Structures are given as structure tokens and as C-alpha cells.
Amino acid sequence: MESRYPARATWSMRSVGRNTGRQAPGNKTGSNPGKSLSVLCIVGMPGNMPLTDTNPLTRACPDPVVALREQAPPAPAAASSLYDMAEVYDAITPPGPCEAFYRAEARRAGGPVLELACGTGRLTIPLARDGHEVVGLDASPAMLLQAGRKAAAAGLAVTWVSGDMRRFDLGRRFGFVLVSCNSLGHMTEPEDLRACLEAVRRHLAPGGVLAFDVVLPDPRNLMPPADGVRRLDLGPNPASAIPGEERVEYDPVRQIRTAYWRVQPRGRGWIDLEPLVQRQFFPHELPLLLGASGLELMARYGDFARNPLAPWSLNQVCLARRAD
């Protein structure tokens, strides 16, 4: 569906917190203590559109992608985080069955729509194409740059915000909030998860819906296989669309799974990625975790086709709302 929003480019400077939001693999908090992150929010339109902002930085930089790059902190020289390599990320995670589910739920709930940990816009852009007003929030400058390029190429208006999914304040409410692709697993500490869910609750409009999916923990995937290495691109439910393998460690006390990924993008050699550190959510605890943050579980499925949650399910696909 063609976007109902006009082709335009608007800019605003916003401070959204002290820390970055999508936790990079290997970084337990994703924080930058003591520093306020000044971010450039883009309503993603082609770079040749006239600018209306009076800020000298944005006036001097007509290309929204370049402007965002100039505001973003420089990546470490030897960065190997998956979230610093947007093209590799897109190669690993092509569109999948989650898209149809979230688009249907957004139509049912109504907008505006907020996606946390939006990445390169794999879901954000289709939602905007459906005619929703959409805001995508992520902590990775590389992801937001790629998302901005995609939205501009599609001629779609999307607001991209660099921020922390644990402590953000956008000054408005949304009819539909989504956190896809096991992104809540980056909230490895109880206080981080609670802060994130409480922030979501504050941003939900009356009657609004939170939709998210997390992995259903499988003991076979929590422990390393006999030979120590598991292929990511093979089997009935591959985790990667390109050749890849992982070694895993699991802390049963903290419910933390650490995965050491090695992938091979097309035309390139093998790349060792920083550890992917994620919390595991067991089925009985999810309603309690939501309730502790003022939310309640409305529905839970075992897959994106809405089949019931079962011992053999791969995911927990959840819908929640404010408890009041």
C-alpha cells in the first residue's frame, strides 16, 4: 500500500538518554556512562528534499544519511559486532513469517506504531508502507543509517530515533508497540527488563497493544553439541541465511545464553562476531515479568501462524496490554 504521508524531510535534535538501547553482543549494558547522547531524528525522505530546520549542522548537510552519520559516535576501529555491520545483518536475517503477523496486528490495533530495536527497518518499512505513522528506535547508528537509506529509496516517511529501549521518552503514546526477533533477550539484567517494559507501558495509548516474540528455551540449544559447534544455516529452522556456525555457553542461574557466531557473507571470508548475550524467558515467568511492570498477557502463540504454544514450539509470540 502506498504511504498516505507526504514526501518531506524534517529534522529535530533530541536527547533521549544517557545510554544506547539495543545491547550490542558482548556488551551487558550497552551503556556510555556519564554522557548524554545527542541524536538526530529523521523523517526518512530523499536527501534532495529542501530542509526547513534552522540548525546549522542540518542546514549544512542536505543528505539525511550523512547528517545522521555525523551525529553518530564513531565505531570502534576493530568493531566486529553484528549490529555494526548492517549489510551482514540483513544477509543473515531476510524477511520471514513474522512480517505478516506484525502487519496484521498493527492493522487490528491501529497506530501510531513504535518499533523498539528496529534494526535496518525489516518490519518498520513494511508497516509504513501499509499507511501507518511509524517510529523506529534503535541504539545502533549503522542500523539506523541502513534503515534510513531503505525508507528513502522506497519514498516512505519514517521517524528514526537513536535511543535506549530501557529509558526513552518520546513525549507521546502509541496504539501499537512491537519488539521483534528476540530483541527483549538483550535485557539481560532484571532491572533492565523492568525499565524497558515500564517505558513501553508509559508509551501505550489506552487500549494499545504490545507485541513481541522471544525464543522458547530448548535445552538442546542451551548446551553445546557433541562436537562443540552448531551450524546456523542448516536444519528446519535455520538462524542464518548465510553460512554460519556457533559455539554456546549457558549460565542456568542468570538464564543467560552466550553465543559465539562465525559467519561467511557471500564473496567474503569468515567473520568472527562479538558474543551474542541474551536472556532466556521461560513460559511460566513471562506473565509475572509483564505484571511486575504494569502489563498483562493477552495472548501467546507458539509461532507466527498463531498455533498454540507447545513443548515443540520454537517461539513465544505474545500480545500484551496495560494492566489498568
| Domain residue ranges in the chain | 11-216+281-322, 219-279
Q: Are residues 182 and 278 in contact, defined by beta-carbon separation less than 8 angstroms?
A: yes
Of 188-192, 239-243, 303-307, 316-320, which gets the smallest average pLDDT? Answer: 239-243
**pLDDT > 90 fraction of the chain, expressed in percent and rounded:** 56
Of 10-19, 130-139, 210-219, 230-239, which gets the smallest average pLDDT? Answer: 10-19
Sheet holding 159-162, edge to edge: 11-15, 38-43, 159-162, 134-138, 113-116, 174-179, 204-215, 315-322, 295-301
Name the residue among 97, 94, 127, 96 with its Cα closest to residue 306: 97
Place of cell 494499545: 208
Per-residue pLDDT at 110 exceeds 80: yes
Of 10-14, 173-177, 284-288, which gets the smallest average pLDDT? Answer: 10-14
pTM: 0.75
Instruction: Indicate the SS3 state at residue 86.
Output: helix
Place of cell 523506529: 136
Per-residue pLDDT at 148 exceeds 50: yes
Name residues whose C-beta falls within 8 Å of residue 268's C-beta, 6 or more positions apart in sequence: none
Instruction: Indicate the SS3 state at residue 281.
Output: coil
Beta pairing partners, 15:
38
Task: Place 237 in a pLDDT band, splitting at 50, 70 and 90.
Answer: low
Q: Are residues 212 and 180 in contact, defined by beta-carbon separation less than 8 angstroms?
A: yes
Task: Give the angle 24-28-32 at the CA atoms, nearest 5°.
Answer: 75
What CA–CA distance (Å, rounded) separates 279 from 289? 13
Of 151-165, 236-250, 274-288, which gets the smallest average pLDDT? Answer: 236-250
Place of cell 535506549: 164
Residue-averaged pLDDT of the chain = 79
Task: Place 236 in a pLDDT band, splitting at 50, 70 and 90.
Answer: low
CA 149 vs. chain centroid, Å, equals: 17
Per-residue pLDDT at 112 exceeds 70: yes
pLDDT digits (tens, 9 = 90+) for 177-211: 999 999 999 999 999 999 999 999 999 999 999 99
What CA–CA distance (Å, rounded) separates 117 from 140? 9
Give me the mean pLDDT over the 147-166 stretch.
96
Fold type of domain 11-216+281-322:
Rossmann fold (3.40.50)
pLDDT digits (tens, 9 = 90+) for 23-74: 334 343 333 333 333 334 444 443 333 333 333 333 333 444 444 444 444 4
Q: Are residues 9 and 43 in contact, defined by beta-carbon separation less than 8 angstroms?
A: yes
Q: Is the pLDDT higher at 186 or at 236? A: 186
Per-residue pLDDT at 88 exceeds 80: yes
Per-residue pLDDT at 5 exceeds 70: no
Of 190-194, 233-237, 275-279, which gets the smallest average pLDDT? Answer: 233-237
Give me the mean pLDDT over the 86-92 stretch.
83
Name the residue among 140, 106, 105, 107 with its Cα closest to residue 121: 140
What CA–CA distance (Å, rounded) separates 82 from 77? 14
